[in-house]
Structure 1
Amino acid sequence: MTSATGPTPPPIAPRLIATDLDGTLLRDDKTVSDRTVAALAAAEAAGIEVFFVTGRPARWMQVVSDHVQGHGLAICANGAAVVDLHAGGELLKVHALDRVTALDVVHALRVAAPGTTFGVETAGGFHHEPEYPQLFSHDAGTIVAAAEKLLRVENPASDAPVIKVLAHHRELEPDAFLALARAAVGDLASLTRSSPSSLLEISRAGISKASTLALCCAERGISADEVVAFGDMPNDIEMLTWAGTSYAMGNAHPDVIAAASGRTASNTEDGVAVVIEEILRRLNGGR
């Protein structure tokens, strides 16, 4: 909910803030505003942990690595990896997608949505099919080959764990593609999307931002009721539903708005900072 002056703060003092990055904490130019940097630092000073929970791979976390809490941890790849940003993005936990299962998913999507092309995010880097669009710049070590070759299982012990598979379609509308893919894949894997294009992100079954965040909170003795979460896209829905208090950004997808318990300003208007500032003001007796 929102009040006349802004988003309504959570009913209890939070112990952890969990925020998505793109479209949420970051502005459209992929920077963190001075206001948001100050709000994150103030939350840490007040004893509130901050976790960045993103669909990004660990290698794309430089933009926020200077602003992570003392613990240094971030949840990446929609919950498939926990990384230590203080150690240069070292992978601490990986919930890998089994390669045989990944191949089954690829085959199911080739049948259900002809024209789908695939990328494969592994612990060692990103690889993709020749027809997969160059949405982002990739490392020099990127392998370009059919998904069946990228996911081959002849010698799985020597291969880097598969963190997620990406599926892109040039013609299908994004939400329609997601619905079609979920119906085709069933319970083989978890499918979601965070891009405005028809790009799906496929993780191990049962893995989401919420599942890994819940594990991290349990390790700290933090309950869902003590968590405040922020997001803007369908890959945030499970996390926003799990958290005791959640905010959809002003620029959020309609399904995210429906899932969240409250709403804040857009990412370009520092919506996360707006809520953090109000939380801290209440903790300080309204000053």
Structure 2
Amino acid sequence: MRDDGAVTSSTPGTRLPAPSAPRLIATDLDGTLLRDDKTVSPRTVAALAAAEEAGIEVFFVTGRPARWMDVVSAHVHGHGLAICGNGAAVVDLHEGPGKYRFAKIRDLAVPDTLEVVRVLRAAAPGTAFAVERTGGLHHEPTYPPLHVEPGESVAPAEKLLAGDSDVADQPVLKLLAYHPDLAPDAFLALARTAVGDLAAVTRSSPSALLEISARTVSKASTLELCCRERGISPAEVVAFGDMPNDMEMLAWAGTSYAMGNAHPDVLTVATGVTATNNEDGVARVIEELLAARATA
């Protein structure tokens, strides 16, 4: 990275630099678009607005549930959509903070969820689970208070997923698995081996917290669906991310940037590196894209 914070290539000889006229920007939130204090900087707000004014669609693509999108709902213009839950849902945020509508749901089937619980209990004893449904979070008694909200209900995962549960009609968006002793990357590797192709396993937290979705669900696969509906090709997409749950999206997009604070593995799939989230790395790239468009 140059001293001025401008973007530089991290993987020479792979894909071409960002196009001067991208049609869509896809950006992760935590550790990417948001600063560490979970705010959107004035510079980033201005860059997002300028991109949309130039006719470039902006999609927020996050592991967050829909109810945690208030921080950016005011900055969703045009289409008004965001991809949440690592691709498990496309949410319409048009109505503003505190209001959202599920436009698309790609749920994790309950039988598959129960099998993942069984497999991980055997492979990593001590694992605690939480179930993210469309109506809220439900967790086991041993699941730690990692979130900013209390669980809707507390019980063993098998009971939370029972057919006679009060929320059995709510689709499961993802299963969360936490281990108190394993290192985050070690837990991820162990779980991926144990779960196999039963489900998709990733992580975005600095702790040993895994996020488990339906087998074909990822940020990339849902972003691809949204782009296909708009006639947008991967070559016309610029993506940003910082953690393992962003890797498929960064590999799929024609141009992608790892943040300066990114997990080392993310650097292996991105076509470039930008400044950190606290240094407005996403805004810097958008400004350069728009400047290149103006002089093209």
TM-score for both structures, normalised by structure 2: 0.93
What's the counterpart of residue 224 of structure 2? 214
Change (3 A) 1:49 1:97: same
2:59 and 2:271 map into 1 onto residues whose CA distance is 19
Query: Does the 8 Å contact 1:51/1:69 carry over to 2?
Result: no
What amino acid does structure 1 have at the position aligned with 2:7?
P
Between the two proteins, the alignment pairs up a number of residues equal to 284
Quick check: 81-90 or 29-38, which moved more? 81-90
SS where residue 257 of structure 1 aligns? helix
SS where residue 74 of structure 1 aligns? strand
Q: CA RMSD in A?
A: 1.6
1:237 and 1:153 map into 2 onto residues whose CA distance is 34
Is residue 2:124 matched to residue 1:124? no
2:262 and 2:202 map into 1 onto residues whose CA distance is 15
Is residue 2:21 matched to residue 1:10? no
**Aligned counterpart in structure 1 of residue 243 of structure 2, from 218, 229, 233:** 233
Q: Percent identity?
A: 69
Give 1:89 shift: 1.8
Give 1:124 shift: 1.1
2:259 and 2:134 map into 1 onto residues whose CA distance is 31
1:216 and 1:156 map into 2 onto residues whose CA distance is 32
SS where residue 28 of structure 1 aligns? coil
Query: What is the correspondence of 1:1-287 to structure 2 with a 5 Å cutoff?
Result: 6-7=6-7, 10-87=18-95, 88-139=99-150, 142-154=152-164, 158-285=168-295
1:158 and 1:206 map into 2 onto residues whose CA distance is 22
1:11 and 1:162 map into 2 onto residues whose CA distance is 38
2:169 and 2:278 map into 1 onto residues whose CA distance is 40
Query: Does the 8 Å contact 2:65/2:84 carry over to 1?
Result: yes
Give 1:3 shift: 6.7
Query: Does the 8 Å contact 1:80/1:164 carry over to 2?
Result: yes
Structure 1 spans left out of the alignment, 5+ residues: none
Structure 2 spans left out of the alignment, 5+ residues: 9-16
Change (3 A) 1:54 1:131: same
TM-score for both structures, normalised by structure 1: 0.96
Give 1:137 shift: 2.5
